[in-house]
Amino acid sequence: MRLEGVIFDLDGVLCRTDAYHLAAWRTLTERLGIALPPDAAERTRGVGRLESLDIVLGERAGDFTRERKLALAEEKNAIYRGYLAHLTPADAEPLARETLTELRRRGVKLAVASSSRNAPLILDKLGLTALLDAVIDGGMISRGKPDPEVFLKAAAALALPPARCAVVEDAQSGIEAARRGGFRAIAYTTTPRRLTGADAEIHALTELLA
């Protein structure tokens, strides 16, 4: 069945802001006197803001009220957005623009579905917004991955059923969300790390054009 839509995760797929996230979490945890878990980068990949905070706080997560956690999440986000101010189109994933441009030329509808509330800002900084038909960010959903809500909303915005769309993801939670939602799940990996349950695996975005 020919795919009519492609839905991209953002961080780790169209760009890489993992280092910025990690630096912001480190600044926050140092202020709190908490050791940042060594696997924080992997465990928070594709996870929502408050869920990520609980991972970062570790055994101390229960020491904070929800209101305090919301304030800490906003503090971390302010630090992170400071890093994002330095993003330019050169920070896009290699050949991301060329891949999106060619897919559009072929008549494929394109969306970004991200748990990040900063997705619109990042896409503007990267100069990719005009190449997309829809953007669904963390502020538009109530359930994070592996719940498929973000992808289902993206498909609805493209006016396409999930079966006609592929989801490109770099996180295990995203692959699971895509499968739960009835999408074709494509794992994008540039390291030996493997994702299970994907329908296909690519190592360069241009492989979507094959």
Which residue numbers are catalytic? 9, 11
How far apart (Å, rounded) are the C-alpha atoms in residues 61 and 79? 20
How far apart (Å, rounded) are the C-alpha atoms in residues 8 and 112? 5
Q: Are 149 and 141 in contact (CB under 8 A)?
A: yes
Long-range contacts of 105-108 (CB under 8 A, 24+ apart): 107/4, 108/3, 108/4, 108/5, 108/6
- Please give the DSSP secondary-structure letter assigned to residue 1: -
Among positive and negative, which fits the CA dihedral 116, 122, 126, 131? positive
